[in-house]
Amino acid sequence: MLRLSLPLMFILIVYTSAFGQAQSWTFVTYEDQPYSEVVLYQVSADSLYVKAFGKIHAVHIDSIKYMKRKRESYAGRGFITGMITGGVLANRIAVNSGYENGFLGGFAYGVEIIIGTAAGIIGGGILGYALGSGFSKDEFYDFSTRNLQEKKTLLTKLLNRSYGDE
């Protein structure tokens, strides 16, 4: 079982680290002009530069009403991760419990391992789904109550964070 556990844990680690967080934003100006799926590029004295459809666009910072970033859901990944982890751990516990005759005796030992593993898969999947759902909270920033300097500071912070500088 150890030969099966290690590859499953390796697949789990590779699977969860293979996906990056989307860094695209949606914002609306005071003229109700929506900008969807843009990537923050640069902040200047009075403009925000964004990439959209392969081109760079300038937007006056004072014209931005609000910004939001919808994060992708981690619920599916959490469910799969929880199922794999729960199944492997429950199986290891069941196999190493030391009760070769099982609680039900003899033949039922294999059935107990299967039931324990299934319970670990189900429990791990539910827990992973719940945790994954909690990590996908959207970000929303209201610019209507901020002055130009506060807007620039916030945009610079968001820009640095989206490129991993912070």
152 has a pLDDT exceeding 90: yes
Please say whether the beta carbons of 67 and 26 come within 8 A: yes
35 has a pLDDT exceeding 90: no
Mean pLDDT of 118-126: 86
Report the residue count for the chain.
Answer: 166
Q: What is the dihedral of CA 101, 107, 111, 113, to 10 degrees?
A: 30
pTM for the complete prediction? 0.52
- Give the domain 23-71+140-162 fold: SH3 type barrels. (2.30.30)
User: What is the distance between the alpha carbons of residues 83 and 126, in angstroms, rounded to a whole number?
Assistant: 8
Domain boundaries, the chain: 23-71+140-162, 75-133
User: What is the distance between the alpha carbons of residues 56 and 50, in angstroms, rounded to a whole number?
Assistant: 6
Tens of pLDDT, residue by residue over 77-107, are 888 888 888 888 887 777 776 555 555 555 5
User: What is the distance between the alpha carbons of residues 94 and 102, in angstroms, rounded to a whole number?
Assistant: 10
User: What is the distance between the alpha carbons of residues 42 and 145, in angstroms, rounded to a whole number?
Assistant: 22
How would you class 134 by CB atoms within 10 Å of its CB: exposed for 0-12, middle for 13-18, buried for 19 or more?
exposed
Q: pLDDT-based confidence at 20, cuts 50/70/90?
A: very low
User: What is the distance between the alpha carbons of residues 158 and 145, in angstroms, rounded to a whole number?
Assistant: 18
52 has a pLDDT exceeding 80: yes
Which spans in the chain are helix H?
A: 2-17, 75-95, 108-134, 148-162
